[in-house]
Amino acid sequence: MNDINPELLACVRADVERALREDIGGGDITAQLVPPEQQARAQVVARESATLCGQPWFDEVFRQLDSAITVQWLIQEGTEFQPDEVICRLTGPARTLLTGERTALNFLQTLSATATAAATFSAAIADTATAVLDTRKTIPGLRLAQKYAVKTGGARNHRVGLYDGILIKENHVFSGGGITRTVRAALQLEAEVMVEVEVETLDEAREAMAAGAHRLLLDNFDLADMATAVAIRNKDYPDTGLEASGNVNLATIREIAATGVDYISVGALTKDVKAIDYSMRFELTD
């Protein structure tokens, strides 16, 4: 398995266990049509260009099913490939290869889609000082997997969840007594995490900066107001990060980056992905 941290390794194992249980249930009854002693070779072939991601999950599917399965990767994780390229080769019992095929490809197609989106958006502003961030708009149950895919594609992670960063949004401000009061309460609540506040106007941006927020989320600002917010920050609050959000796509991301914001968050990296098309081809062996 790829060199990943213990937390992610545990996530990979749990993701795969859950997915196999969902697919196999009490047993793969179709695979029983294949003689148990039958061996096979298989290869995964790309149907389109993309950035490869998901090797740890793919490998884990077959590790959990049968340690006799071997996987040889011909394309490295995070590498772009072209249509008709062979991604990996597998050998082992035909029954097990057939049982694991769909689950393994599901992980590969979904995580490659996220990594490809991250790579595409990051490449669009690669010559700027602005970084592309993901969001919490992820597939339920695959948060860490998609966060991994975002980094594999060359973009950066925002907070993982509600536990490792504070993002004060409109309803928090309303319930907490205003921007200044809520930001100051947040700074006292958790000294070790980032405190970010969503703002919708330049007046709110000024207030949030003055209150000491670590970062501002500029929600649906137009380009002129983004540039003004950057100018205010640069002059009076140089340590405050600025993140743009809303109406971000490949047609707009460069002009947003040109305003000088530090980050652009893109929900499409994880929520609007289109699965990458892979197929697994089999060949029986003696």
Supply the residues annotated as catalytic. 102, 137, 169, 198, 219
Amino acid at 235: K
Q: Which amino acid is at 115?
A: A
Please tell me whether residue 44 adopts helix, strand or coil conformation: strand
Q: What is the distance between the alpha carbons of residues 172 and 56, in angstroms, rounded to a whole number? A: 38
| DSSP count for the chain of H helices, then E strands | 10, 12
Residue 147, judged by CB atoms within 10 A of its CB (0-12, 13-18, 19+), counts as buried
Beta-carbon contacts of residue 52 (< 8 Å; ≥ 6 apart): 75, 76, 77, 78, 79, 80, 81, 87, 108, 112, 115
Per the listing, tokens 């929600």 go with: 219
Closest of 32, 46, 95 to residue 68, by C-alpha: 95
193, 164 Cβ separation under 8 angstroms: yes
Assign residue 222 a region (left: φ > 0; alpha: ψ between -120 and 50; beta: otherwise).
Answer: beta
